[in-house]
Structure 1
Amino acid sequence: MTHSLAPEVLAYYDRGNEAGRLALPKNRLELWRTQDVLRRLLAELGPGPLRVLDVGGGAGVHAEWLAGDGHRVELLDPVPLHVEQAGRLPGVTATLGDARALPVPDGEADAVLLLGPLYHLPDPADRLTTLTEARRAVRPGGLVVAATINRFAGLHDTMRSGAYFDPANRAATDACVASGALRPASEQNLFTTAYFHRPEEVPAEFTAAGLTTTGQYGLEGAAWLLGIEERLDDPDQREQVLAALRTAESEPTLLGISGHLLTAGRH
């Protein structure tokens, strides 16, 4: 089966900004919390090195530290620029590929990470295919972790930045809140075509794909909305923030306040 990336999504990532996105002050919390949660989940699989398939891994921001931790990392991404960038990283094998048709044998991986694909697949059938492929590619008892963007993240982010008060951005944001589907108002939009989940939707999609959900983890909690970026520059205060977020990361009433959510499941 042949799949293609939506042209506007490819154009968005061809700008080349993804490689440095999580190094920006406003995005570092997402990076550190993703590392924090994933390291704990991967440790549950037993001593490494593990075979990790990083599907839709972009320019390799997560593949790089995973390889640094000693894991055997294969990154697949549909954007040629990302594959070129990730292929330069030590210990990372990068291949052009689509999450809906993984070019790997059954049960090859100990863990399959979907840290980007689900929110760029507005069609539920495509998301089901992606999760079913992840289940096929991971060994029995193996781990699948998917990142999603929360339904109200765009509303919170654009209100924080002031972009919400532009009429075109506000219309696109309000439509996304209503349906989950983000259709950018223009090329100058902060993001591209995407689907923003409600937290409870993701376990239902895992179940439909034959995966057993084992946990959900809000990454940024409310901290990303509180203007604490400068506190993260201090190692002691950063650890205090990370520790505080761990205490509430799986509290059901707070999952949706985070910008991003990780859902973990087992084959």
Structure 2
Amino acid sequence: MDGLQEYYARGEEDARLRAGAGLLELLRTEELVRRYLPEAPASVVDIGGATGAHARWLARDGYQVYLVDPVELHVSAASAIPGVRATLGDARALDAEDGSYGFALMCGPLYHLLAAEDRAAAWREARRVVRPGGHVAAATISRFAALHDGLHRGLLADNGFREMVGRDLATGVHRPPEGSPFDWFTETYFHHPAEAAEEARAAGLTEVSTFAIEGTGWLIPHAELDARLREERERERLLWALRQTETEPSVLGASAHLLTVGRS
């Protein structure tokens, strides 16, 4: 967990979600989550909610939001959001009674739990704290994300990057070499497109679906993508296009992030 703490201590996660592919990730996650939320003012637990990118709009919509995150900087920032309670905690052992919440959102923990048993524990905990009939929505990173990013940004000429991608594809475990650039990310687990649904079902969730969050939209050049997202008509056209293939199996692996949703 030291690498995780060091990476997020830079305080750049919030800014990442404000433009380009990060903003697309935020907008599409919000859009997908809204389909499954109970009516406000239901309670929502935002597990690994970082600085509160999702907690902010959930609280604004009238939900009672409890955010838990392992990074002190994140908890401090999220605590300043009106209507959000935030605390330090671990996705594998939540400090909450069974059935405490109407909905659980887990964007982040599954990225950083490299061991299958730890990911299974996070899924079980999310299911445990949601009342029967409620939903758990969890984000994962695609097994092919670094490969596609390398192609997109011309990084495959770097031998270290190429070797890292080879390990990603073989094992799912993403470990940037020591001294690698910040934007190579930190130690992470990259899921095969069908893998998160298998984990969700193993935790006892039913009616499980997996969605491409950004689809192929994240591969649009950053400045062009950001301009499209800022203009209402262009944004709606792009979001409409991504909805058309959001559950298409042949497209899931092209999306940088996936959202898997199941019923408790």
Q: 1:221 maps to which residue? A: 215
1:246 to 240, 243, 248: 243
TM alignment of 1:33-72, pairs within 5 A = 33-42=28-37, 45=38, 47-72=39-64
What SS does the corresponding residue of 2:253 show, helix, strand or coil?
Answer: helix
> Which of 110, 126, 142 matches 2:102?
110
Please name the residue that 1:32 is paired with.
27
Kept in 1, the 8 Å contact 2:71–2:88? The answer is yes
Encode CA deviations 1:217-250: one digit per residue, 9 max, x unaligned.
1011111113341322321011010011112111
The residue that corresponds to 1:8 in the other structure is 3
Residues 67-104 of structure 1, C-alpha deviations (whole Å, 9 max, x = no match): 11111100000001100010011111001000000001
Cα distance in 2 for partners of 1:162, 1:186 equals 20
Alpha-carbon separation, structure 1, partners of 2:4 and 2:253 = 25
Matched, 1:262 2:259: yes
Percent of aligned positions that are identical = 48
Offset from partner CA, 1:107-154 (integer Å, 9 cap, x none) = 000011111100101100000001011111000011100100001011
Q: Which residue of 2 aligns with 1:171?
A: 163
Is residue 137 of structure 2 the alignment partner of residue 145 of structure 1? yes
Q: Distance in 2 between matches of 1:30 and 1:178?
A: 26
How far apart are residue 189 of structure 1 and its match?
A: 4.0
1:161 aligned residue = 153
Counterpart AA for 1:164: L
How far apart in 2 are the matches of 1:235 and 1:164?
A: 35
Structure 2 unaligned blocks of 5 or more: none
1:90 and 2:87 matched: no
Contact kept? 1:213, 1:263, Cα under 8 Å: no
Deviation at 1:163, TM superposition (A): 2.5
The alignment status of 1:133 with 2:120, answered yes or no, reads no
> Please, which runs of 5 or more residues in structure 1 have no aligned partner?
1-5
Q: Does 1:232 align with 2:232?
A: no
SS of aligned partner of 1:101 = coil
2:194 and 2:14 map into 1 onto residues whose CA distance is: 30
Task: Name the Cα RMSD after superposition.
Answer: 1.2
What is the letter of the counterpart of residue 9 of structure 1? L
Q: Secondary structure at the match of 2:15?
A: helix
Please give the TM-score of this superposition, normalised by the length of structure 2.
0.95
Amino acid in structure 2 at the alignment position of 1:212: T
1:192 equivalent in structure 2: 186
User: Do 1:159 and 1:165's aligned partners in 2 also have CA atoms closer than 8 Å?
Assistant: no
Secondary structure of the structure 1 residue equivalent to 2:137: strand
Question: How far is 1:169 from its partner?
Answer: 1.6
The equivalent of 2:200 in structure 1 is 206
1:203/1:213 contact within 8 Å kept? no
Instruction: Determine the C-alpha separation between the residues in 2 that align with 1:218 and 1:176.
Output: 19
Aligned residues: 259
Report the Cα distance in structure 1 between the residues aligned to 2:15 and 2:79, rounded to whole angstroms. Answer: 16
